[in-house]
Structure 1
């Protein structure tokens, strides 16, 4: 398993992993608006635009197959963290998160966690930091991780 920066050739796989995982664990809890919003954010060309900006994007690769992706926005906010559904709960998310946090530019990193991913983020050491919110149909729990605290094992 290697963690490396996303390359343009990875974007189809990255988009597919995000959509597969989203459709399996999040979409059923959202409105049509939320599903459309996420589909637009997870589209290949949307990733390409963000990749050309200030967002750090890393993939976990195993035997030349992309298994997961993380996107760190402006060095302060986890914008995406998705693992191929069949590879979840195998430590890939933790490896991606640790690698991304090495590039953090702030002491407190935030995430707007889908409600189905709150427990996973709590396992990574994040804490809830506000009330559940909604934006463009996406329902989320604000969370934060203080980087001077170790992540849970």
Structure 2
């Protein structure tokens, strides 16, 4: 498996992986507004637009197939981390996360973790910081990792 920067040719696969993983693990616990918000964020055009912002997007690729995506916003915030549901529990998320963290520009990286993903982020070394919140129907737990300690 290789971890590399997202390319234009990957956009459809990345959007599909995000929607499949979201639908399997997160969507049923959210309101219609939350599902709609996420669907807009995960569209091909939304990814394409964010590629031109201060966002690092990395994919995990195995034998020519995209298996996961991570998005690090402004070198300080994990905005997306999704792995193909068929490929979960194989260390892909961990590899993506720690690859992205090597590009961090701060000592403390944050994430607004969906509630089902909190145990995984804890396993990666993130700690809860603040109360569960909601924005545009998306329910999340603020978390952070101190890089000087964890990496």
Provide TM-score, normalisation by structure 2. Answer: 0.99
C-alpha distance in structure 2 between counterparts of 1:91 and 1:2, whole Å: 13
C-alpha distance in structure 2 between counterparts of 1:132 and 1:87, whole Å: 28
Query: Per-residue deviation at 1:148?
Result: 1.1
The number of equivalent residue pairs is 151
C-alpha distance in structure 2 between counterparts of 1:102 and 1:17, whole Å: 23
Residue in 1 that maps onto 2:30: 30
CA RMSD after TM alignment: 0.6
C-alpha distance in structure 1 between counterparts of 2:11 and 2:26, whole Å: 21
Residue in 2 that maps onto 1:121: 121
Query: Per-residue deviation at 1:110?
Result: 0.1
Provide TM-score, normalisation by structure 1. Answer: 0.98
C-alpha distance in structure 2 between counterparts of 1:150 and 1:107, whole Å: 10
Unpaired runs of 5+ in structure 1? none
Residue in 2 that maps onto 1:12: 12
Task: Give the secondary-structure state (helix, strand or coil) at the position aligned to 1:148.
Answer: helix
Residue in 2 that maps onto 1:44: 44
C-alpha distance in structure 2 between counterparts of 1:16 and 1:77, whole Å: 22
Residue in 2 that maps onto 1:2: 2
Task: Give the secondary-structure state (helix, strand or coil) at the position aligned to 1:110.
Answer: strand
Residue in 2 that maps onto 1:133: 133
Query: Per-residue deviation at 1:149?
Result: 1.6
Residue in 1 that maps onto 2:103: 103
C-alpha distance in structure 2 between counterparts of 1:76 and 1:109, whole Å: 5
Unpaired runs of 5+ in structure 2? none
